[in-house]
Amino acid sequence: MTSVDTGAMTASPSLAAAGARMPHEGDPHERLWMAWPTADYMLDGSTVPRDDALTAWAAVAHAAVAFEPVTMIVHPEQERIARRMLSRDVEIWAAPIDDAWLRDSGPTFVHRDSGPAVVDWVFNAWGGLVLAGTAHDAAIARRVAAHAGVPVVPSALVAEGGGLHTDGDGTVLVTETVHLDPRRNPGWTREQVDAELRRTVGAERVVWLSRGLTRDYGPYGTRGHIDMVATFAAPGRVLLHAQRDPRHPDHAVTAQLRAELQAETDARGRAFEIVELPAPRTLQDSEGWVDYSYVNHALVNGAVIACAFDDPADAEAAAILAAAYPGREVVAVDARAIFALGGGIHCITQQQPARL
C-alpha cells in the first residue's frame, strides 16, 4: 500500500499539553513508523555497503509488520527501490525527508484527556552534526501528525525521541549531555527541562543520568542518548547496558550509570530494580570501540524486535529480554549495519500508541 504526501502539509491544530501523558512503549500500538535511508552518508558505501544499510532497515520493518502495521516514510526519489525491497505489507508513505533516524527527527506521541497528540520538539540534527539536511526532518513531526489526524503540542526544547524514556507512570530518564548540551539548549537549566517535560509528556519525576556510551560521542554520535544505555521494562524496573570487559571504556561508564540509578527513585518513590543487559563480547570494529547495545530494542504488539550482532552474547540477551517482557516473542535482527551508521533498532522506529 502506498500513499503520497505531495508536499503541502495540512496544518494540525496546536494545543497546550495539559493532561498529557507519554505511555510506556510496551502499551498497545496503533502502528510503527519508520523512515527509509535517504542521506548520502547512508547510501554512498563509505561506512557500510549501500545494500547492507537498506537490507537492515527492511529487515526491521518486516520483523515488526508481522505484529502490527508499519508505515515507512520514503523520499519520493527512493520510492522505487523501497518498493522493491519492502513487502506489500509495509505501507509506503512518500514524503520529503532528510535522514532515517525517525525516533529522533519524528514525533513523540502522547495521550491527552481529549485524545492522542504529537509533541513536536525542535530538531537541529543532534546539536548540529553535519550528516544531512534538516529542513524536511524539522517538519516531519507535523507532517506525521497531519497524516495521522492528531493535533500537535509544540515545544521550544531541542530534543530527540532517543533522548528520553518513560515508564508510562510519570518517570522519565534523560542524560545531562543531551538535554543540557549547549549546542542544543544553550542557557536551559535542569529545572527548565524538567518543567517542559512535565508540560509535554507528563513527567512527574525526571531522573538525570550523567552521560551515554563512549562511541556515542564520535562523529556519528548523539552525545549521550539514553536509549543506548537504559530503558524501562516496566515501572520500577530498568534494563541497563552492562559492559563487563574492563578493556572497554564503557566498563567504567556503565558502572557509573548503575551507581547513579541506585541513588535515585521513580515518580512513586520506588528504588529501581536494575536488570543488566550484558554488552556483546565484540569490543571493537574498524572505527574503534563499539557501542553495540541490546538495550536499543523496539517493542511492538506481542514482540520485542531485538538487536543481534552475530555475537556469543546474542542468546543471553534474548533470554533476558524474554524474561523482562513476559508473553512477548523475541525477534532478533542483525543490527550491525545500523550501528555502523550511528544508531540501533530503537533509533529507526517510532511507535504510535493505540487510542484509549
Q: Which residues are catalytic?
A: 347
Closest CA to 336 of 323, 328, 345, 327: 345
Residue 290 CB contacts under 8 Å (≥ 6 apart), including other chains: 215, 280, 282, 283, 284, 339
Amino acid at 190: R
Per-residue b/e over 47-64, b at no fewer than 16 CB within 10 Å?
bbeeebbbebbbbbbbbb
Q: How far apart are CA 47 and CA 53, in angstroms?
A: 9
Q: Which of 330, 152, 130 is nearest to 220 (CA)?
A: 130
Residue count (the chain) = 356
What ranges make up the beta strands (E) of the chain? 2-4, 29-35, 70-74, 91-94, 108-112, 115-122, 152-158, 165-166, 171-175, 205-209, 230-234, 237-242, 273-278, 284-285, 288-289, 298-300, 303-308, 329-334, 349-353
All residues at 6 or more sequence positions from 276 whose CB lies less than 8 Å from its CB, including other chains: 239, 240, 241, 242, 258, 320
Q: Which of 190, 236, 194 is nearest to 210 (CA)?
A: 190
Closest CA to 209 of 242, 257, 248: 257
Residue 70 neighbours by CB distance under 10 Å: 24
CA dist., res. 138 & res. 124, Å (int) = 7
Strand partners, 333: 307
